[in-house]
Structure 1
Amino acid sequence: MKAYTYLMAKKLKLEGPPPPKPRSQQPHWDYHAEVQAFSIRLHENISLDLLKTAFVNPCYLQMEQERRQALGVDAEATPLALKDNIQLSKNGEGFTKNFLSDWCRASFPSLPSEGVESVVEHLTTSAVVAHVARNLGIEDLTMNAECPVPDDVLYSTFMAVIGALQESSGAERTGFFLRDFLATQLIGKDLFDIWTVVNPMGLLVEELTKRNVPPPEPRLIRAAGASTVLPLFFVGLYSDKKLLAQGPGETLVAAEEEAARVALRKLYGYTENRRPFDFSPPQQHQQPLIQSVSSN
């Protein structure tokens, strides 16, 4: 046994780990039961036929057709009784972007349209959606030609599941699903890590002008180690003799830009100490958001 273990370890070191296998090719797998358990596990009522269609990607159908041709199976006599998820994915993607835009405007009413678009774009990137899909167990159920499943395929599969949920349970229930699983990805994220602002001071001046507030005046509040290799400056922004915000930086320009970002976060209501998002159950949720979801 020792010699066998040594040889297998040496073989693994030389050849590397074996290629990954999809969950459907591993033992103790019942696809029909797993699809049924998926919606029950998420406490959703999704049509079983729509849910099975949502997991079928076009590349899987192409692979199956090529495999059947290689085996000599007549495509006309025994057609492949599967349908791809292209239409469901389009419907789910459109609903997701519309809902997230409405939810972002309702949660941050002072945020301009550019900021809303950046937040929605961040939440609907392939990396974020694929991360959510993998943690929901969608990767194991996805019928795809490649293993592991690429992020773009997971993205389209997740959107197809959203489309199936919308057709089965309606817009309101689907909106709460997106709120609970996609909108929560904003927790711990800074606004300007999502939204790239080249000139924060210029944007702050525009926002204050819209509110009929005098333009900000930067002033050096305090400094430390100015003559060392690690200087630190604190710049405060004053408007009408009132302190709007202050920020640190290694240079005066960097400190001024950081202070402008702090002031913008306050204006937009996206500060670290802001009121937490309302993720209460649907029956206890506020009526305006329900109406916003139902309007889509």
Structure 2
Amino acid sequence: MVTKSSSSKFPLILSSSKNWIDATSSSANVNTGYNNVVNIKNVGITLLSRRHFRPKWSAPTLRELKRRKDIETEKAQLKGEPTVFHRSTFLEWNYDAELFAFGNRLGEKFEDALLRQALTHRSYVERENKKLESVGVESSLDLKLNDDLAVDGGLMITRFIKGYLRAVFTSAPEEMILAVHDYLVSTSVLADVGKHIGLGEIMLCADFPCQPETYVKSLQAIVAALEKSSGEERARTFVQDMILPQLYGKDVNELWNVANPVGTLASILKREGKAEPEFRLTKHTGSNTILAVYHVGVYSDKNFIAEGAGESIEIAQEMAAREALKRFFNTEDSAKALPFGRQLKAIQAKVVKLENQPNIPLSEWASGKVSIVSQ
């Protein structure tokens, strides 16, 4: 092994035999065109110490480029011009290739015409027509808009989500199903999904960066285009893979706020023929401090139902009622994780069946009715 020394006089190289070799030795010099070069033979391991340095001009140049970029960005912001440019402004932009890559990234097959329609917004067509009129061209763009597809896709997303929630939360009232559904179809959630699957680079719209509402409309249209291209089952799977996982890490009980948990609990117990809820203070600490904690248990017919804690007796009583409702609705913190993937495929038939069959409303909820409906 031939190595160039890092020192002009006494370079040292550590070999596997743990011996130091002086490169100035006449027996070690070889005619390679370099000064103080060592030729080591039959060595298994050689440890070299080497330091890399950037040229002196590198750091000042990078700082100057950053300063110029900041100036241009500030000027653009003052003029109201965009500081982020659409990918279509790049020379290597190929819209056909982008659409092909989009479908393959998702693992779905789209009809080309439907996919293009799903990504074409009315604002884009209006803007392009104005450009043509400004240069004296009377003809307009013959492009299909995604308005109808977005409406159909929105209805499909709602139906698929409700079917999944009803199949998973069979004991929950319909009000909870609707609250969780409203969270999943909210603008912030759907727009986030649209951004992460790459819709922002291929949507044809007038606004850029694209508005959240534009992402939502495109995503809804994509679902409808997929249903028309590959069938309803593929569209349902797409929604289950892309939108429903947004529930991961969320507490469904926090997405639905019961207005009067104590009164709701009393009504449920009355419909089931049980005594009214009785709240008892089980333990407390720090009553005269700002860190007071009270534990209240709720009982019915002398049977313990649940327990809650709070900084006051009233709050602890409300929390105990909420914990009791969680037990009735099977949405406790210790409940099973939401089914996805293979687990979801096992209940897919149940999901499809319940898409148009609502759960029992809260005003009629009783455990006996739930068991009959879920059969």
TM-score (norm. length: structure 2): 0.72
- 1:117 positional shift: 1.2
| Match runs of 1:193-204 below 5 Å | 193-204=254-265
- The one-character-per-residue Cα deviations of 1:28-72 (angstroms, maximum 9, x if unpaired) are 322111111112111112212111110111111111111111122
1:84 corresponds in structure 2 to 145
Task: Tell me: CA distance 1:48–1:10, structure 2 relative to 1, closer, same or farther (3 Å).
Answer: closer
2:112 corresponds in structure 1 to 48
Is 1:224 the counterpart of 2:288 in the alignment?
no
1:72 corresponds in structure 2 to 136
Task: Give, as a single letter, the amino acid of the residue that structure 1 aligns with 2:84.
Answer: P
Q: How many residues align?
A: 293
Residue 172 of structure 1 contacts residue 293 of structure 1 at CA under 8 Å; is this kept in 2? no
Is 1:158 the counterpart of 2:158 in the alignment?
no
- The one-character-per-residue Cα deviations of 1:71-112 (angstroms, maximum 9, x if unpaired) are 22121xxx4131110010000001111221222111111211
Structure 2 counterpart SS, 1:82: coil
Task: Give, as a single letter, the amino acid of the residue that structure 2 aligns with 1:166.
Answer: E
Distance in 2 separating the partners of 1:7 and 1:135: 31
Higher relative contact order (CA 8 A, sep 6+): 1
Is 1:173 the counterpart of 2:237 in the alignment?
no
- Which of residues 111, 122, 135 is equivalent to 2:183? 122
Task: Give, as a single letter, the amino acid of the residue that structure 2 aligns with 1:70.
Answer: S
Structure 1 counterpart SS, 2:336: coil
- 1:291 positional shift: 4.0
Task: Tell me: CA distance 1:109–1:164, structure 2 relative to 1, closer, same or farther (3 Å).
Answer: same
- Which of residues 327, 332, 336 is equivalent to 1:266? 327
Greater fraction helix: 1
Is 1:240 the counterpart of 2:333 in the alignment?
no
| Cα RMSD for the two superposed structures | 2.4
Query: Which blocks of at least 5 consecutive residues in structure 1 are unaligned?
Result: none
- The one-character-per-residue Cα deviations of 1:118-140 (angstroms, maximum 9, x if unpaired) are 11111111001001111111122
Task: Give, as a single letter, the amino acid of the residue that structure 2 aligns with 1:259.
Answer: A
Is 1:11 the counterpart of 2:71 in the alignment?
yes
Structure 2 counterpart SS, 1:245: strand
- 1:13 positional shift: 7.8
- Which of residues 159, 169, 176 is equivalent to 1:108? 169
Distance in 2 separating the partners of 1:214 and 1:108: 26
Residue 129 of structure 1 contacts residue 155 of structure 1 at CA under 8 Å; is this kept in 2? yes
Task: Give, as a single letter, the amino acid of the residue that structure 1 aligns with 2:204.
Answer: M
Query: Which blocks of at least 5 consecutive residues in structure 2 are unaligned?
Result: 1-56, 358-375
- Which of residues 281, 285, 290 is equivalent to 2:346? 285
Distance in 2 separating the partners of 1:16 and 1:163: 38
Identity of aligned residues (%): 30
| Match runs of 1:137-156 below 5 Å | 137-156=198-217
Task: Tell me: CA distance 1:27–1:271, structure 2 relative to 1, closer, same or farther (3 Å).
Answer: farther
Residue 231 of structure 1 contacts residue 250 of structure 1 at CA under 8 Å; is this kept in 2? yes
Larger radius of gyration: 2
Task: Tell me: CA distance 1:6–1:145, structure 2 relative to 1, closer, same or farther (3 Å).
Answer: closer
Residue 172 of structure 1 contacts residue 290 of structure 1 at CA under 8 Å; is this kept in 2? no
Residue 253 of structure 2 contacts residue 331 of structure 2 at CA under 8 Å; is this kept in 1? no
2:38 corresponds in structure 1 to none
Structure 2 counterpart SS, 1:146: coil
